[in-house]
Amino acid sequence: MNIIRKIFNSRSSKNDGNFFMNHLTKILGFTPVNEMIYKEAFTHRSMNIKNEKGEIINYERLEFLGDAMLGAVISNYLFKEAPKGDEGYLTKMRSKIVSREHLNELGRDFGLIQFVQSKIAKSSFGENIHGNLFESLVGAVYHDLGFEKCEEFIYNKVIEPYVDIEKLEGKIISYKSLVIEWCQKEKKTFRYIVFEDTGNDPIKHFGVKLLINSKQIARARATSKKKAEEKASKRAFFALQNKMSK
């Protein structure tokens, strides 16, 4: 693990060697014990480093662990706070809380990207880096101090300031899912068709048409097929809102 310490120390822009731990303590609300596990939590795979056993060191394994901890703690919270909710309701509510959009928001709010050690410029990362780092941080807390402290962190930093069940009930996290569910319920056919994009943007865009019963309902373009489909679905939802709300 000494190699991680050297990397963090050599790349620190502050003269204070405790900059990382001091700021991390402010974010967490308590003092971490195992400094190295938190440094691993912010080490990007592009660093291509291994420990003394030859094991690859980056934040991805901690991200996996953090994802599981968030799911467990939030599931338990919803189980207690929504006693009338069935399995489907609880699953949807959990998905809204741990949506990629929400996790990215948390990572940005905490400014976690400032700690990343990477050979890739921070400006080149996509939006999901923020959520990935937050999940990794949660995993590090669990690895460092166990489940109870990890649960406390999630309650203090995620549930109390961000989770409002009544507001979440009305929050739409996927217009595509809504459109598909409605089409299936109404026995309508639907197709997402990628069409040739002729835009002049320097970044490649994808064009998508949404057809319902062979009729084009909406179209959209975005930097990925998935985003374009979601954008087209949102437009279709508002175009068909009166029918879909019945």
Which are the catalytic amino acids? Answer: 67, 135
3-state secondary structure 181-243: HHHHHCCCCEEEEEECCCCCCCCCCEEEEEEECCEEEEEEEECCHHHHHHHHHHHHHHHCHHH
CA atoms in the 13 A half-sphere facing the CB of 100? 6
Q: Decide: 66 and 136 in contact? Cβ < 8 Å.
A: yes
User: Rounded to an integer, what distance in angstroms lies between the CA atom of residue 73 and that of residue 135?
Assistant: 13
Q: Decide: 118 and 90 in contact? Cβ < 8 Å.
A: no
Query: Tokens in use for 24?
Result: 């991390």
